[in-house]
Amino acid sequence: MIYTDGTVAIKAGSPIVTGTGTQWKKNIHGVAPGQLICIENGTAPVSMMIRAVNSDTELVLSFNAPVTLSGAKYSIATTVPDTISDAARTMSANQGYIVYFLRAMQQWMTDTGQVEI
């Protein structure tokens, strides 16, 4: 799978990638350390390895960015389709949603008054 939601900004000399409209921390998307992020830069894309996923809108690169870009399109190859790692990531994300649903159902069935889900 390839994740491309939103846009990114990087600053030359900094390892921080700032996203706008991104959801990198959500497990369902599978963005993780060790993956490559390719950022559009005219005709020569910038490819760097992700060292950490700090939040839905912040990544840390393994090295400092070589250029400054803002509002740039990007792509992150999160998994190779139909592989064991893809299946494991999908199952883990589904498990998280099932747990969330069951907790919401328990609250709905046992609480009194208005319940927000």
Q: What pLDDT score does 30 carry?
A: 81
Query: Is 2-78 in CATH node 3.40.50?
Result: no
DSSP states of 17-81 as a string? Answer: EEEES--TT-GGG---TT-EEEE--TTS-EEEEEEEEEETTEEEESS--SS-EEEE-EEEE---T
> What are the sequence ranges of the domains in the chain?
2-78, 81-111
pLDDT tens figures, 21-47: 999 998 777 899 989 999 999 888 999
Q: Which of 63-67, 75-79, 80-84, 88-92 has the lowest mean pLDDT?
A: 80-84
In one-letter notation, the amino acid at residue 85 is S
pLDDT at residue number 86: 75
- Determine what percent of the chain is predicted with pLDDT higher than 90: 56
Helices (H), the chain: 84-110
Position 48 scores a pLDDT of 95
